[in-house]
Structure 1
Amino acid sequence: MPQLWFRSALLPGGWARDVRLTVEAGRIAAVAAGVAPEAADERHGIAVPGLSNLHSHAFQRGMAGLAETRGPERDTFWTWREVMYRFLDRLTPEDNEAVAAMAYAEMLEAGFTRVGEFHYLHNDRDGTPYAEPAEMAFRIAAAAQATGIALTLLPVFYAHGGFGPRPAVHGQRRFLGSRDGFARLVEGGRRAVAVLDGAVVGIAPHSLRAATLDDIAAILPLAAGGPVHIHAAEQVLEVEECVAALGTRPVETLLDGAPVDSRWCLIHATHLTPDETRRLAQSGAVAGLCPVTEGNLGDGIFPLEAYAEAGGRFGIGTDSNVLIGAADELRMMEYAQRLSLRRRNVLTGPASPSTGRALFDAALAGGAQALGVPAGLEAGAAADLVALDPDHPALVERDGDALLDGWIFAARSSPVLAVWRAGRPVVAGGRHVDHAGITARYRATLARLLA
């Protein structure tokens, strides 16, 4: 049984010194604190639990930075979406696998050990289903297996082009499907992830633009107790169109018309009224916040202080994968609140004065809930952990919560030194163990796609 010894580790009860984790069959078999290292121990400095990246569109990593040139009109989320549609025109299943593997390797290097793949790229380039309807899900699973990241697969139901419902546009042809077709996609997704350790399958009605409340009610049984994710209220125009079509706002519509509870994750939920904020917090659902992408797209700022004060749960996701970093998401989250409210250390309180610790704890718990798994370094849990470099300039001479403050707010380069997923080393020396191979395949893929 491998034994990992750490000078300091963040356990469910708080920071502990001189910690040995015994790993057996991918799980933590025992945790001992205050013990001296033994000859057989693999010794490291600082251990923290791996975080869950609750919202990813892996294929979008390949277009990162391609939408940063202004078009003839004022650019918005909707003009960015047209760039995304064009990028998809040439993407093959092999391309999708290569790009996803690059994204997943970077996630592991950044401190994420599980990803929630909001998987809506289903059809061939002309919009017809593949012979294996879940072909693209098998490619996502292959990328997860190759990199070692844990996967929560969230097949997306996408039936309409907008509120009304409106017919789909040409750029949405690779996403579309019927209720019956979606059942086949979910079944195929379960087959695709069967080879993966600890995989979870849920469902994701894309949004109220793409799935009506009747659609959502019809497909909910396919979740079979697993997570349910949906985009909601990301854009002001989305809210306005929802009110025009349905008479209510997106989050209000979901809370009134769907059984939103702790299995649900509302992605973005940026534009909320105070009443929606309170009700969402009370529902037990998780708000899936993607601050880097929301900043990149100009979405707006989630009312996090009010939501947290109402007891709301949240986690973080890398969404468009324009930049992949756990610390980057948490830093952006706090800084957006500071800029909006013109105060510092917004999410702290008397019981948790460290902003880094408050952010990390909330993202750890909320992300795990949203992806349908437990979290934390304790006996019986998956051995998903991250070793930080104690000699990194942002961490030297720091201890306890100050380590998280240093990582999130003061590190120019990542202090993530090693990562284990289910006890298997997947990052060493700050790099994925197959960094060279994954990067070479990604380069070849992009060379063809962007030629």
Structure 2
Amino acid sequence: MPPPSKKPFLPPTSYTRQFEPAAPAAPAPARPAAGAHAGETGWLPDLVYTGDTFEEGLAFFADPLGRITRFSREPADLAAARRLPGQAAMPGLVNVHSISWQRALRGRTEQVARNVEPIAGAREAATALAQRLTPEDIFETARMVFTEMLLAGITCVGEFHELQNRPDGTAWPEPHLVADQVLRAAREAGIRIALFNVATLRGGHGQAPETAPARVRAASIDAFLRETEALRAAVAGSLPADEAWIGVAPESLARVPVDAFKAIGTYAHAQRLRVQTRVARSAEDVAACVAEYGRGPVAVLAEHGLIDKRLTVLHGNQLSAEDSKLLGTARAAVGVCPLSEQNLALAAAPVEALLAAGAGVVLGSESQGQVDLLREARALEYGLRVAQGRRPVVAADAARTLFTAATVTGARSLGATGGALEVGRPADFFTVNLYDPSIAGADPETLLASLVFGLERRAVKEVWIGARQRITGGRHPNQGPIVGKFVEMQRRLWGKPATP
């Protein structure tokens, strides 16, 4: 390893000042290293990403609440910190949009007739699966997905919670039964979660309420708001605020009429909740919105004051130049899921225009065809390169912009406390093996680009959340039982042997 840098070091606190301050992180961190300040835990990897560059010879420390307290080059601190040789540490990745239960469909929707419309075909398969899943199935699938996320360096996830009813559309006898299963899965896996309660009130633009799938249909907007508030209060009263919290997600203007959308927006503003909604996923979506409202979905939301910095619109594959300006002016975010969208033959969102307008761009794994947020990042950039015939597209320094989308901007989108390794924020980070073949030979100046454009998931070695270790040596402590239970569930669900 090269000798430690001689240049002065200032703790990395400035580059995310624009974002919201951190709340206390989860309790019960790992045991402090000998010689650290009272109650502190410290780490000394070969390299630490501070938001500007990779630093050598730099230790960082967290207090008993799991919050980063300081960075140091002092010899005594370097000796006291836990040594992570051959590793680089980066802030944990933030997966803004996940539908965990769709993991059960992986590999099972790829053999379809050529004339089937991609979105309709995927929706039909997902609806059929949703009718078969029990609450326990949803738990096992979510726990499997959240474990996969940890193995990929993801420390926080935004989960789109749609399956709120029994298959026949009636309520479960236990309030929030399925939400509790998803939250339990996150807690057992050890990942932070923003659970977005999804509102669906009709099947599409201009359609009657009964056209919505029974498993996801809310009885009314008033019933949805009552149930969401009860869920919010229950989660706030039983789980640490930065481990699990509630957001709201009017599914789209297609499935939530604008007056109901406004009611959800008013509630979210009063409770300071994050909001997600699907927007302009396809040209057909936009045309149907124009037919009902006389303008596209972003214009409708803007007209009714529903776009602000707490909103993340999902997909946005057919956003116009004016849409990008409206979202950017409001400092809203756009959540793209490149692998899921490419699987459905959807064009990429106009990321370059969104960034230029001031909108945030964040990343998600949505349908879980593959769980790898850095692969999502490179798929986004490569898809844009193919479409535009040039490189790079998202920014001159594409790697830095994409990594920021997967960390800092993603955390802001969810209202999460992490996203950066800086004083006052939680010690949420992952390390990679610098000698993994996928990045071997990278130096501090080229490592970020090597990670974004070349890292294989197997290179992720350790994952820590709130100074508590979740992944050790590239493996979750309960990986065997978690995978085994999921394989058993798949075998039962599909009626034939499943493989992990």
TM over 0.5, yes or no?
yes
Q: Is residue 2:180 matched to residue 1:159?
A: no
Match of 2:84 among 38, 43, 68: 43
In structure 1, distance between residues paired with 2:132 and 2:306:
38
In structure 2, distance between residues paired with 1:369 and 1:128:
35
Q: Is residue 2:209 matched to residue 1:174?
A: no
What's the offset of the Cα at 1:326? 1.2
Alpha-carbon contact 2:354-2:361 (below 8 Å) kept: no
Q: Helix, strand or coil for the counterpart of 2:406? A: helix
Residue 384 of structure 1 is matched in structure 2 by 428
In structure 1, distance between residues paired with 2:453 and 2:330:
31
Q: Helix, strand or coil for the counterpart of 2:57? A: strand
Residue 93 of structure 1 is matched in structure 2 by 135
What's the offset of the Cα at 1:180? 2.7
In structure 2, distance between residues paired with 1:69 and 1:293:
16
In structure 2, distance between residues paired with 1:313 and 1:124:
36
Alpha-carbon contact 2:249-2:277 (below 8 Å) kept: yes
Alpha-carbon contact 2:44-2:81 (below 8 Å) kept: no
Residue 428 of structure 1 is matched in structure 2 by 472
Q: Deviations over 1:61-110 (max 9, x none)?
A: 11112111113733311111001111112100000000000000101111
Q: Helix, strand or coil for the counterpart of 1:315? A: strand
In structure 1, distance between residues paired with 2:458 and 2:485:
24
Mapping of residues 351-370 of structure 1, within 5 Å: 353=397, 355-370=398-413
TM-score relative to the length of structure 2: 0.85
Alpha-carbon contact 1:50-1:113 (below 8 Å) kept: yes
In structure 1, distance between residues paired with 2:460 and 2:190:
16
Q: Deviations over 1:111-158 (max 9, x none)?
A: 111000111110012111111231111001000100010011110111
In structure 2, distance between residues paired with 1:56 and 1:200:
15
Q: Deviations over 1:314-347 (max 9, x none)?
A: 1100011111101110010100110111111222
Q: Helix, strand or coil for the counterpart of 1:439? A: helix
What's the offset of the Cα at 1:398? 1.6
Matched AA of 2:214: R
Structure 1 unaligned spans of 5+ = none
Structure 2 unaligned spans of 5+ = 1-39, 496-500
In structure 2, distance between residues paired with 1:363 and 1:257:
30
In structure 2, distance between residues paired with 1:278 and 1:51:
27
What's the offset of the Cα at 1:192? 4.1
Match of 2:389 among 342, 349, 372: 342
Match of 1:74 among 110, 116, 119: 116
Residue 61 of structure 1 is matched in structure 2 by 103
Change in Cα spacing, 1:413 to 1:153, as seen in structure 2 (3 Å) is closer
Change in Cα spacing, 1:392 to 1:433, as seen in structure 2 (3 Å) is same
Q: Helix, strand or coil for the counterpart of 1:209? A: coil
Residue 252 of structure 2 is matched in structure 1 by 207
Q: Helix, strand or coil for the counterpart of 2:90? A: strand
Residue 259 of structure 1 is matched in structure 2 by 306
Q: Is residue 2:317 matched to residue 1:270?
A: yes
Q: Helix, strand or coil for the counterpart of 2:458? A: coil
* Aligned positions, number: 446
Q: Helix, strand or coil for the counterpart of 1:357? A: helix
What's the offset of the Cα at 1:40? 5.3
In structure 1, distance between residues paired with 2:168 and 2:325:
44
Q: Is residue 2:73 matched to residue 1:34?
A: yes
Match of 1:246 among 287, 293, 303: 293
In structure 1, distance between residues paired with 2:263 and 2:256:
10
Alpha-carbon contact 1:357-1:401 (below 8 Å) kept: no
Residue 22 of structure 2 is matched in structure 1 by none
Q: Helix, strand or coil for the counterpart of 1:431? A: coil
What's the offset of the Cα at 1:449? 1.1
Matched AA of 1:425: Q
Matched AA of 1:358: T
Residue 189 of structure 1 is matched in structure 2 by 231
- Please, which moves more after superposition, 198-207 or 184-193? 184-193
Match of 2:61 among 22, 42, 48: 22
Alpha-carbon contact 2:99-2:367 (below 8 Å) kept: yes
Alpha-carbon contact 1:57-1:320 (below 8 Å) kept: yes
Q: Helix, strand or coil for the counterpart of 1:397? A: coil
Alpha-carbon contact 1:17-1:34 (below 8 Å) kept: no
RMSD over aligned Cα atoms: 1.8
In structure 2, distance between residues paired with 1:229 and 1:168:
23
- Please, which moves more after superposition, 372-381 or 52-61? 372-381
What's the offset of the Cα at 1:188? 4.0
Larger radius of gyration: 2
- Please, which moves more after superposition, 396-405 or 376-385? 396-405
Alpha-carbon contact 2:363-2:405 (below 8 Å) kept: no
Residue 126 of structure 2 is matched in structure 1 by 84
